[in-house]
Amino acid sequence: MLAAKGTKIGFIGTGVMGSSMAKQLLNGGYEVHIYTRTKAKAEALLELGMIWHHTPGELAGQCDAVMSIVGYPRDVEQLYLGEGGIVESSKPGTYLIDMTTSSPKLAKRIHEAAASKGLYALDAPVSGGDVGARNASLSIMVGGDQEAFTAVEPLLKKMGTNIVLQGGPGAGQHTKMVNQIAIASNMVGVCEALVYAKHAGLDLNSVLKSIESGAAGSWSLSNLAPRIIAGNFNPGFYVKHFIKDMGIALEAADEMGIELAGLALAKGLYEKIAAAGLADNGTHALYKAWD
């Protein structure tokens, strides 16, 4: 079990969510090592006491566990399986925890490559956005071996409150796809509801007060609808990354021989706003598809 005292944690991906997640680990007593492409981007975290490395491989070679939350499956593949990457550079017994929303098939490949070198790999994507990362209240969906999960659970508990081992390698990613499928159609509903209310001449805040605690209630309605009403489309989770997630889910669904019409519709709407220059906005910017 990875107790805080004397344990070195590597963290790669200090963006909107990752920086808060790394801070939770540091505040939990762990020695946190980070990698960023340029050191200047990490200055605020270094001032808190984190340790910067020039390459992911250099970081991996010095840590007891390596965690990552990056952009796309291609980034994950290069980071873990590329020349000089994490699998190649980690010392035997290291725990590798990828928290990126990525491909279930890739998660299985990383697990196999890690196991061949005496490493323990887990896929552990998260849900809860920037708010969940700041409040250490993320939902963490884990795929991998029970023994490895038990060992890293203290780390995960520093960042989340709902942590479930869903099954073997890739199960965490499949569960995250379930999460994204539910969110995608729900976000369409949230945006259409607000568009309807606006055109009906209703006060949007008053409408929200009436519906968010009833049958229409959802995390997106309570947390993102107020941002829409305020005209704040800053990202808690990027449009471009959500499009990536929906693509992974649709690909997996096709492999399983199932049709997800609602997800396909949502992806098309998100691609529309991305093409209009909103790819770096938050997912709630979908509202602008009707604006």
Phi–psi pair at 265, nearest 5 degrees: -65, -50
Burial of 204: CB neighbours in 10 Å, binned 0-12, 13-18, 19+: middle
Tell me the C-alpha distance between 276 and 181, whole Å: 23
Q: What is the CA radius of gyration of the chain?
A: 20
Q: In Å, what is the CA distance from 45 to each residue of 54, 94, 196, 272, 285?
A: 15, 24, 43, 36, 29
Beta-strand (E) ranges in 102-212? 120-123, 126-127, 138-143, 160-167
Catalytic residue among 23, 158, 176, 244: 176
Assess whether 39 carries a catalytic annotation: no
> Strand, coil or helix: what is 259?
coil
Q: Is residue 42 within 8 Å of 19, Cβ to Cβ?
A: no
Identify whether the C-beta of residue 238 lies closer than 8 Å to the C-beta of residue 280. yes
Backbone angles phi, psi at 278, to 5 degrees: -110, 20
* Catalytic residue ranges: 176
